Structure 1
Amino acid sequence: MRRSTVLATAAALSATLVVAGCGSSDDDKAPRKKAAPAADGQDINAHPVSDLKQGGSLRIGIEQWITQYNINQVDGQQGDAQSVISLVLPDLFTSDAKGAHHLNENFLTSAKVVSTSPQVVEYELNPKAKWSDGKPLSWRDFEAQWKALNGSDKAYEAVDTSGYDQISEVEKGKDAHGVRVTFDKPYADWQRLFDPLYPAAYIDSPKKFNSGWAEKAPITASAFKLGEYDKTAQTVTAVPDPKWWGPRPKLDSIVYRVMDTRAKTDAYLNNEIDYTNAILPEDYKRLAGAKNTDIRRGARWDEVHITFNGAHGALKDVKVRNALQAAIDRKGINTSFAKDLGFELRTLDSHFFMPNQEGYRKNSGDHATYDPEKAKKLLDEAGWKGAEGATRTRGGKQLTLDYVIDADAVSASVDQAQIVQQQLGAVGVKVNIKKVPPNDYFNKYVNTGNFDLVSFRNVDQVYLSMAYGTYRRPQGKNLFQNFGSVGSAKIDELLTKAARTTDRAESVALYNEADREIWKLGHSFMLYQRPQIYAVRAGLANFGAEGLADRDYLKVGWLK
């Protein structure tokens, strides 16, 4: 099942896991580290399904109660929502360890481009594929999803219209199971559309699309269905759907339980959950020696950054945003975080590619170079004046910014906020660390642009065009995923052109050109590629650090 089908905003509690501070004076004495895992690196305890027993439960800790199961709606971008909904809705294409995409034969018997001028894609649905209400999947589902996400009706609170806005028609194909999609402009990443597929009857009006998936999935079509929502116990339980037409899953249930990130290590050690993140040094030391535990490592598409809000206040001025870029020492942040890792942490100089991916270029120029004197000069030019050591002012108003973090964030998140507070304070920018309730962090702050500075992760950007919503200019109140509202017509044009370019080399060049513009505008400050380091029950197979691949829950289970 696909872990993320759109550019995912990872959950806040685990989002800003960066230990801030300067490098250790003992750095020269540290053992030489191995290179980071390759882009196709995996560590999942791979086994054929014949090695697995039938039955058993998988218990997973999640960050918050899921309030929106429509991941194409603006409030559905929280990472746990995407993980859960992708388990129970049609997943048309899956990616392998190298990030290549393949037809999911449980839902499609074929899908191909049959014309290039105009571009036409024909899908043939698996005749056995049905929604949980018994209705077969059909071209009507494709049509409804296109109409909801193409941007023509602003009443649909769509998080990302890219790709869908290039479709001119969706119609019935050669037979009852066929779908024919015609594009008015070429779209290279056509496989990312309609994945997951939502049912027409439950998204064919703005009301259904915006609120019909609040706190529940009213219909499913997969090997698993959501059997129980227990808000009191803060658990959601997925169970096999007896109506499923494909291979029988091995697990009897998958239980998602809301818990504080800081409690996950103890929950794992107390045998309450079956895997947890082991990336923080204090957690790793406790988990690495735990009984019946594997430490599994991989290289996911996963970046940590700081977003600047250019929609209001001092940060509307690009010079102030550029000053912040010069005032933050990411090398100190990254070195401190990586000190206890067994492999190198890759500093990130691209918004589109990971350092070990083909196409990666260092596009930051001098916009990621630590230079406090440059920061002071830019602030002076922006009219924010002040004596050394004092908060700068302009027109009698202090230069003060709110750095929003989750009130239950792990210590590393607080550390990062505090070091940024210290570094910006050194150039005359006062930073208030604003702690907010964990369930409000995304819905009331990040998603609505209610912050000056915020840090989270974007993950699983397996298609380049998935980034469009993050860097395009907002339209009215719809921020898409550009929560800081920093963008330009030039960036929009470059990203649109890149998405329409089917020549891979040319497309990569356009994304890199757009990236240079994004750095210049001070949209966000990239820190590093975050590795996967998980503690997993030793008997759990085909699960763990999948890297660029999708997790296949049909093959996940416990060894005999």
Structure 2
Amino acid sequence: MSHDGIAPRAVLRSVAFLTAGMLTVPVLAGCGSDDPAGEPLAGADTAGADRSDIADGGTLRWAVDTVPDTLNTFQADADTTTARIAEAVLPSMYRSDARGRAVRNADYLASAEVVDTEPKQVVVYRLAQQAVWSDGREIGAADFAAQWRALSGKDTAYWTARNAGYDRIEKVERGKNDLEVKVTFGRPYADWKSLFSPLYPKEVMGTPDSFNDGARKKLKVTAGPFTVDKVDTKEDEVVLARNPRWWGDPAKLQKIVLRAVPHDKRVSALSDGTLDLAEIDPEAARRITVAALPQEENTPLMGPEADRSAADALRSWAVANGSDEDAADEEVSARKKLRKKAEKYARQQKALGGFEVRKSLEPAYTQLALNGAEGPLSDERVRRAVARALDREDIAGTVLKPLGLPAEPVGSHLALSGQAAYADSSGALGKPDAKEARALLSDAGWVPGGPVEEEKKDTKKDEGEEAAGSEADEEGKEDTKGSGGSEDSDDGDDGTYIVGEDDGKNHGTGDGKAPHDSGTGTGQLKQGGAPAGAYAPKGTAAPARADTAPVAKDGKALVLRFVLPSGPGSKTLETVAGRIAAMLEKIGIRTDISTVDDDSYFKDHIASGDFDLALYSWPATAFPATDARPVYSKPVPAADGSLNVEQNWTRVGTDQVDQLFDQAIATLDDSERRDLIRKADSRIWAAAGSIPLYQRPQLVAARKNLANAGAFGFATPVYEDMGFLKKSAQGPEGSPASKKGGSGS
């Protein structure tokens, strides 16, 4: 699976991994009220334009990660492309606005309201009068009822990936007329607005066969501004065509071609003219930014020869013209290859001048996951120590500041700034504090300077190397002595570490080690101090200046396996992991960072629990009570004896968090529900199973004359408004004459 995109709520919460870039972004002003939800940290960047300024027709070629295996978003193998197609071709009763909140979609829904709560919750949907399927049939109660039956979980013949919310419905029936749909819930359901988005026709949902197989490669009946023209696995693309039966504002584009292009091939595809819109990585963003600069400006040197100095060039010329014929031939060949690469790079840069980078923050955040199933991190004190050691502001700044994006750490597991449920609850864990982190480790039995039995051999080698160093170096490192025992530790080391005043000068060896016991049973005693070379009981706290020494317990050092993926985005993740490792080292925790194959990272490591620390991302949602519960619910034993973790891959959960989610999902009052969600988030912070770090950056390359498309941020794309500007509406370089940040809807 790709680690560069985040699946929307139409499919399972899926993991995705960070990319980064540069430039600037339109930022919304901070919220002036006392509302803890605040405002989104960054607005959409889509080159918004009025529909009147957009030409009729044209084809938008849009890069995606995959051609999907299914067009049914409710199946387990649905992906981000499945969801994107559904947004363009199927009804959604609600969509996401610029603040990440659910708003009524007027193209399908005239109104929707809870009309009764006692004895049961009843919601009445009043459909838009013109809303019809592409075969001319009205959208109605039969479609709602078919989707409920398919997703209720009562009929196991339907291969559904989720049924949250639908399993609470008791019945779906026609209301007062054909435009009304009455939904009665057997149990209260606060997130009822999440249902029937997308809505599939009864032809898809009506039978298990049609649900399981009928919508995998085609959708015969749709109801959006576009229809599915074809799914072409040979050409790796999905073609969407303008829907002639669409009753809303007609689509400006004639076609949208969703083309599967790997991230490392997107720059070439953009420069070759085979893409108009593509999410890109930081390096591609830098290239496009430089390509757009006027030639006379002093632009950064990039390309194949960017790292070659004048000395390198002179040396190359000398070898190519030297007396060694073999070396000269080899150098001439290398120079020709480099020249061809430089020429190709120059051609690409010229073509990339027709594009610009549009940027925002994704409705998703990257977190540090701590596997609490077993090992040191099963102890909450150790997890909290890890969390207290992290400077999240520094980490967010490392990733986002070079991009010109707001570098604020995320303060909630369940929402992002601007969303209704957001509040910074990180105070439940406490501010970064290395001293407090070390105290937590000590309380859990992990102390600096403890013996590390399995590392004695390596420690001896290190001590030998230290002895060869300067006396000053030895003094600077003396607070780490004893972690592997003395040179004679094989002769009766009983699991203690050596304390005392020895500095390598006054007592014995002069190599910075404690002297071996002479057998007298005493040592020289300095006034107010301990005998030099005395042995403290096992587990005793380390002496002063050892606060950054590796901690150990029961003869083992505290080393955490930090697993990262390879592939797109991995450079940024490696940078973040390096910063985290350095912060943990300051409190005595060492990390073993390993990079694994991108394709197996999630399945073989995250989902299976084969990690101590990991970085992955979760999408935000307007419905956290529903969507976040399986991510943070307490794992429970399954019937076969295994542990059912749902999507809680940190394996950390509490009964109290589950109870708060259960209360929130049944609370119809918006204010009370937000309070419950925020309380749940505080408890999740306190358990320290996952630590939100920063909101993910969103970098999109777009053709300059393409309007109402790009970095959408929270907002659901308005597909019918996308298109290419008329020449009269273009600025001097092809961009909108008056660029706006919104979607133009």
TM range (shorter): 0.7 to 0.9
Q: Deviation at 1:237?
A: 2.3
Q: Is the alpha carbon distance of 1:259 and 1:279 closer, same or farther for their aligned partners in structure 2, counting shifts above 3 Å?
A: closer
Give the % identical residues. Answer: 32
1:535 aligns with 2:701: yes
1:145 aligns with: 147
1:551 aligns with: 717
1:484 aligns with: 650
Q: Is the alpha carbon distance of 1:400 and 1:352 closer, same or farther for their aligned partners in structure 2, counting shifts above 3 Å?
A: closer
Partners of 2:199 and 2:723 in 1: how far apart? 26
Q: Deviation at 1:488?
A: 2.5
1:411 aligns with 2:580: no
**Aligned 8 A contact 1:261 1:409 in 2:** no
Q: Deviation at 1:167?
A: 2.5
| Greater mean alpha carbon deviation, residues 184-193 or residues 125-134 | 125-134
String of CA shifts for 1:184-239, please: whole Å, max 9, x gaps: 34433322211111344434567765676556657543222333333344322222
Q: Which runs of 5+ in 2 are unaligned?
A: 1-6, 31-38, 293-352, 453-482, 484-548, 727-745
Please say which structure displays the higher CA radius of gyration: 2
Select which of 630, 633, 649 maps to 1:472: 633
String of CA shifts for 1:78-98, please: whole Å, max 9, x gaps: 433322332222222234334
1:463 aligns with: 623
Q: Deviation at 1:405?
A: 1.5
1:30-429 equivalences in 2 (<5 Å): 39=40, 41-76=43-78, 78-99=79-100, 101-117=102-118, 118-126=120-128, 129-131=131-133, 136-150=138-152, 160-203=162-205, 220-277=222-279, 280=282, 282-289=283-290, 290=292, 291-298=353-360, 300-311=362-373, 315-357=377-419, 360-365=422-427, 367=429, 369-372=431-434, 374-375=436-437, 378=440, 387=452, 400-401=560-561, 403-421=563-581, 423-424=583-584, 427-429=588-590
String of CA shifts for 1:35-83, please: whole Å, max 9, x gaps: 778538333222232222122121222234433443334443x433322
**Aligned 8 A contact 1:405 1:454 in 2:** no
Q: Is the alpha carbon distance of 1:235 and 1:113 closer, same or farther for their aligned partners in structure 2, counting shifts above 3 Å?
A: same
**Cα root mean square deviation, aligned:** 3.9
Q: Is the alpha carbon distance of 1:8 and 1:58 closer, same or farther for their aligned partners in structure 2, counting shifts above 3 Å?
A: farther
Q: Is the alpha carbon distance of 1:211 and 1:7 closer, same or farther for their aligned partners in structure 2, counting shifts above 3 Å?
A: closer
Partners of 1:485 and 1:212 in 2: how far apart? 37
| Greater mean alpha carbon deviation, residues 102-111 or residues 390-399 | 390-399
Residue identity opposite 2:573 in structure 1: S
Partners of 1:283 and 1:167 in 2: how far apart? 48
Partners of 1:213 and 1:318 in 2: how far apart? 46
**Aligned 8 A contact 2:64 2:261 in 1:** yes
Q: Is the alpha carbon distance of 1:164 and 1:397 closer, same or farther for their aligned partners in structure 2, counting shifts above 3 Å?
A: farther
Residue identity opposite 2:169 in structure 1: I
2:683 aligns with: 517
SS of corresponding position for 1:498: helix
Q: Deviation at 1:144?
A: 3.7
Q: Is the alpha carbon distance of 1:234 and 1:362 closer, same or farther for their aligned partners in structure 2, counting shifts above 3 Å?
A: same
**Aligned 8 A contact 2:358 2:702 in 1:** yes
Partners of 1:84 and 1:207 in 2: how far apart? 22
Greater per-residue strand proportion: 1
1:499 aligns with 2:696: no
Q: Deviation at 1:361?
A: 2.8
Greater relative contact order (Cα < 8 A, sep 6+):
1
Aligned residues: 542
Q: Deviation at 1:455?
A: 2.7
Partners of 1:85 and 1:446 in 2: how far apart? 28
String of CA shifts for 1:248-289, please: whole Å, max 9, x gaps: 312122222223324434443443322344673x44432224
Q: Is the alpha carbon distance of 1:172 and 1:409 closer, same or farther for their aligned partners in structure 2, counting shifts above 3 Å?
A: same
SS of corresponding position for 2:685: helix
| Greater mean alpha carbon deviation, residues 370-379 or residues 110-119 | 370-379
**Aligned 8 A contact 2:132 2:138 in 1:** yes
Q: Deviation at 1:521?
A: 1.9
Partners of 1:205 and 1:100 in 2: how far apart? 33
Partners of 1:434 and 1:171 in 2: how far apart? 53
SS of corresponding position for 2:402: coil
Residue identity opposite 2:693 in structure 1: L
Partners of 1:480 and 1:141 in 2: how far apart? 29
| Greater mean alpha carbon deviation, residues 157-166 or residues 540-549 | 157-166
Q: Is the alpha carbon distance of 1:319 and 1:265 closer, same or farther for their aligned partners in structure 2, counting shifts above 3 Å?
A: farther
Residue identity opposite 1:523 in structure 2: G
Partners of 1:125 and 1:361 in 2: how far apart? 35
SS of corresponding position for 1:301: strand
**Aligned 8 A contact 1:187 1:499 in 2:** yes
